Structure 1
Amino acid sequence: MSRTFLITGASKGIGLALSAHLAANGHHVVGLARTSPRDFPGTFIPVDLGDDDATRVALDDITQRFDLDGVVNNVGLVRPALLEDVTLPALDEVFGVNLHPALLAAQAALPGMRARRWGRIVNISSLTILGIPHRTAYAAAKAALVGFTRSWAIELADAGITVNAVAPGPTETELFRANNPAGSEGEQRYLSGVPMGRFGKPGEIAATIAFLLSEDAGFMTGQTLHVDGGASLGRSLF
């Protein structure tokens, strides 16, 4: 069955890989992000997801045009800083981009999903929720998405709507590679924490998300899946 899924942060990385995966399997994807990709496999609506009013307008337009079967809250913002350098404006900005669109998108899709008694919400969290230097704001925001996931899952369990989260580890996106070039100290630091000894591929993360959006995942809700090459297990002592 072909369904319609809304994906925020859909213009690159995991969001774009997921859009391509879903489209290849016959689904309609509605993508939101600030910048339009060159070739998007669905309907793309450019919007600054850090602007709450603009996001509301875009979501209102989308829900009038499409019956949304699911939402993937993927957009994120990182403002790396040591604890002593974190500012309240930066903290608020990171919380705003990571959390406000997630809430607004879920609220926009909810009436239709309730009416059809079928729906999927997937929140994209991060390995950083387990603790990492320089990520006070980002880790807290991604942990809040896990809180959203568990609370919404309980609220919607009897409505035919599942809510789950995916927490990727280091993933070889364009942005990650720009900040951690091959052979760099950053690359080695990240690799040292991944038992598999490699980075994830956007398509691998997308495949997990796609499963959670599928019919086959109908009895799974409130869960956070770590897709991270074993990084969430910790380092071996031997």
Structure 2
Amino acid sequence: MTTPHTVIVTGGSAGIGADLCKHYLALGYTVISMARKAPDWSHERLVSVQVDLLDSQATQQAIEQITAQYEVSHFIHNAGVIWPNLLENVSLEELQGLTQIHLGSAIQIMQAILPSMRAKRFGRVVLMSSRGALGLQTRTAYAATKAGMMGMARTWALEFADQGITVNVVAPGPIQTPMFYDVVPSGSEREQNIAASIPVKRLGRVDDITRAVQFFSDPENSFVTGQTLYVCGGASIGTLTI
């Protein structure tokens, strides 16, 4: 089965991004992964575009090449990095880098794909924020840029609301991904303590996030826009120490 839909998934080579790519392929979509690395698997409808989204020039070149060949109907901005630091150790270079990957690259991609979405009067956009946007130790730059995604999404939602384009946000809590284990050692007491601190008493799985993204990106869901869904096991309404 094939559909007329084409989705860009940033950070599609691993973790949540890879699960999203496989989900959309199963729905019959053409899937474009924009990531530093190519996925370690292949599919006839999977297009791998290797690009470092921290590099604004490389990002611009990549998205121009994509839009020259494809009309994108869905955009899932999943790529991100954490770079944890206490305030006294945060550098402006880190802030600028996280601003580019979380916000700048999303703006570049959205500006490029918006004309075709407007022409078809259809689009689904999901930005991947974080429960950390509510505040978390060592997350000055990360929380600032992830919170910025929520304001940006609400603004876009208002700008595109009458054009058939919805824009929403998924904000994961601690999820069992390579990025999480870059910060928290797998199997460690710290990992166990984090899971115990979450109201539902477990860490999230990538499929928990994929289901939330699918709700927002479903072509039938045209009456939900500008919203943020925390997929965090209740951590956004309790306390969480990482």
Match of 1:88 in 2: 92
2:170 aligned to 145, 149, 166, which one?
Answer: 166
Q: What secondary structure sits across from 1:192 in the alignment?
A: helix
**Shift, 1:77, TM fit:** 1.6
- Partner amino acid, structure 1, of 2:54: G
Match of 1:5 in 2: 7
Rate the CA distance shift 1:80–1:119 in 2: closer, same or farther, 3 A: same
Match of 1:45 in 2: 49
Is this contact kept in 1: 2:81–2:179, CA < 8 A?
no
1:100-146: CA deviation from partner (whole Å, max 9, x where unpaired): 11111111110000000000111000000111000000000000000
Aligned partners of 1:136 and 1:31: how far apart in 2?
Answer: 28
Structure 2 unaligned blocks of 5 or more: none
**Shift, 1:178, TM fit:** 4.4
Query: Within 5 Å, which residues of 2 pair with 1:15-94?
Result: 15-41=17-43, 42-94=46-98
Rate the CA distance shift 1:131–1:192 in 2: closer, same or farther, 3 A: farther
Aligned partners of 1:108 and 1:168: how far apart in 2?
Answer: 27
Q: What secondary structure sits across from 2:220 in the alignment?
A: helix
Match of 1:179 in 2: 183
**Range with greater deviation from structure 2 (178-187 or 198-207):** 178-187
Is this contact kept in 2: 1:169–1:228, CA < 8 A?
yes
Runs of 4+ in 1 over 6 A off after TM superposition: none
The yes-or-no answer on 1:147 pairing with 2:151 is yes
TM-score by length of 2: 0.93
Q: What secondary structure sits across from 1:30 in the alignment?
A: strand
**Range with greater deviation from structure 2 (212-221 or 179-188):** 179-188
Structure 1 unaligned blocks of 5 or more: none
- Partner amino acid, structure 2, of 1:158: D
**Range with greater deviation from structure 2 (162-171 or 99-108):** 99-108
Aligned partners of 1:86 and 1:4: how far apart in 2?
Answer: 38
The yes-or-no answer on 1:116 pairing with 2:114 is no
The yes-or-no answer on 1:230 pairing with 2:234 is yes
Is this contact kept in 2: 1:70–1:109, CA < 8 A?
no
Aligned partners of 1:178 and 1:51: how far apart in 2?
Answer: 22
2:109 aligned to 105, 108, 111, which one?
Answer: 105
Rate the CA distance shift 1:116–1:165 in 2: closer, same or farther, 3 A: same
**Shift, 1:92, TM fit:** 1.1
Rate the CA distance shift 1:174–1:163 in 2: closer, same or farther, 3 A: same
- Partner amino acid, structure 2, of 1:111: P
Q: What secondary structure sits across from 1:232 in the alignment?
A: coil
Aligned partners of 2:57 and 2:208: how far apart in 1?
Answer: 33
Aligned partners of 2:42 and 2:132: how far apart in 1?
Answer: 29
Q: What secondary structure sits across from 1:15 in the alignment?
A: helix
Count of aligned positions: 236
Match of 1:128 in 2: 132
Q: What secondary structure sits across from 1:32 in the alignment?
A: strand
**Range with greater deviation from structure 2 (69-78 or 174-183):** 174-183
Is this contact kept in 1: 2:80–2:101, CA < 8 A?
yes
Aligned partners of 1:154 and 1:142: how far apart in 2?
Answer: 19
Match of 2:197 in 1: 193
Aligned partners of 1:178 and 1:96: how far apart in 2?
Answer: 21
Aligned partners of 1:183 and 1:50: how far apart in 2?
Answer: 31
**Shift, 1:179, TM fit:** 3.4
